[in-house]
Structure 1
């Protein structure tokens, strides 16, 4: 599934569409949370946390460009 998420994030990057970036970053966050709860706790810090930071950057960058 990580490959599909990576392709989706790449698609969002090359298309420049905020909605695509947000959708796939939320998917990465959810996958990281699920993996952290069911497999290894460290997945929360290696997958979910960076995705949360990237999601915040996308949201705040989009906010600045609309003003």
Structure 2
């Protein structure tokens, strides 16, 4: 069960690394604008904010990977909790889809960590 939990954490971390790339590097590119449904003007105007948000997603991924490397359940639980809270906040303030894309995988990983 621990292996399955760790694989789930890796998947959540990879998802957040993908968010980092989308927000820091592809925000104004066609793919980034398509994923987030942005006009070229809005993407350009909000580029710095998106890059900041992408950096935070990178920190979440780094924290999850740190928990895997150290093997400390407390780190895994803390960073999964951060991902869940960020996803819930994003769902409330931006788009409900964030709940399913960000929080749900983290909730599943959290349940797996707790049951391993």
> Scaled by the length of structure 1, what TM-score is found?
0.89
Aligned mates of 2:112, 2:74 — CA distance in 1: 13
Matched, 1:47 2:102: yes
The structure with the largest helix share of the pair is 1
Tell me how far apart the structure 1 counterparts of residues 66 and 79 of structure 2 sit (CA, whole Å): 10
CA distance in 2, matches of 1:3, 1:35: 16
Separation in 2, partners of 1:50, 1:5 = 14
The higher-RCO structure (CA 8 Å, 6+ apart) is: 2
Gaps of 5+ in 1: 62-67
5+ residue gaps, structure 2: 1-55
Shift in Å, 1:58: 0.4
- Match of residue 60 from structure 2: 5
Bigger radius of gyration, 1 or 2? Answer: 2
Q: What is the aligned counterpart of 1:33 among 76, 84, 88?
A: 88
Q: Which runs of 4+ in 1 moved over 2 A?
A: none
- Please report the TM-score for the alignment, with normalisation by the length of structure 2: 0.52
Partners in 1 of 2:88 and 2:110 — Cα distance?
15
Out of 15, 18, 24, which is 2:79 matched to? 24
Q: How many residues align?
A: 61
